[in-house]
Amino acid sequence: DAGVIQSPRHEVTEMGQEVTLRCKPISGHDYLFWYRQTMMRGLELLIYFNNNVPIDDSGMPEDRFSAKMPNASFSTLKIQPSEPRDSAVYFCASSLGQGRGEETQYFGPGTRLLVL
């Protein structure tokens, strides 16, 4: 398997523009996670899905952020409108399931977002 795939790897945009980050989880994994990492706040969980259904989005910073998972092989994280404080590395991860140690998360390479 190719692992978790994220695109784009780098994104530079101007304040106010819409940004869409994409993720393809590992095939067969039932859980998908979106994280954000900054120097100030470390690695934060934004939202996670189970079988394409959002389970917990309490980490989403505000209404400008939205995430979807239309099918088992694709998810998007959208920021509209983007602001400079959204600049961060965004990671997507997937895991097989839960219980009995199946919670191992496999991370993608991340998308480095810079909002000017």
Binding site for other proteins (CB under 8 A): 4, 31, 42-43, 45, 48, 50, 55-56, 59, 89, 91, 93, 95, 97-99, 101-110
Closer to other proteins at the Cβ: 18 or 56? 56
Q: Which is nearer to other proteins, 81 or 114 (CB)?
A: 114
Residue 53 Cβ vs other proteins, minimum distance, rounded to whole Å: 12
89 in the Ramachandran plot: left (φ > 0), alpha (ψ -120 to 50) or beta?
Answer: beta
Number of H helices, E strands in the chain: 0, 11
Residue 25 and residue 73 in contact, taking contact as beta carbons nearer than 8 Å: yes
Tokens (6 digits) for 103? 């919670």
Minimum separation from the CB atom of position 89 to other proteins (A): 8
Sheet holding 74-79, edge to edge: 5-7, 19-24, 74-79, 65-71
Q: Judge whether 72 and 17 are in contact, CB under 8 Å.
A: no
> Residue 56 in contact with residue 31, Cβ under 8 Å?
no
**Cβ nearer to other proteins, comparing 73 with 96:** 96
Nearest approach, Cβ of residue 22 and other proteins (Å): 15
Q: How far is the CB of 77 from other proteins (least distance, A)?
A: 15
Query: By C-beta, is 17 or 38 nearer to other proteins?
Result: 38
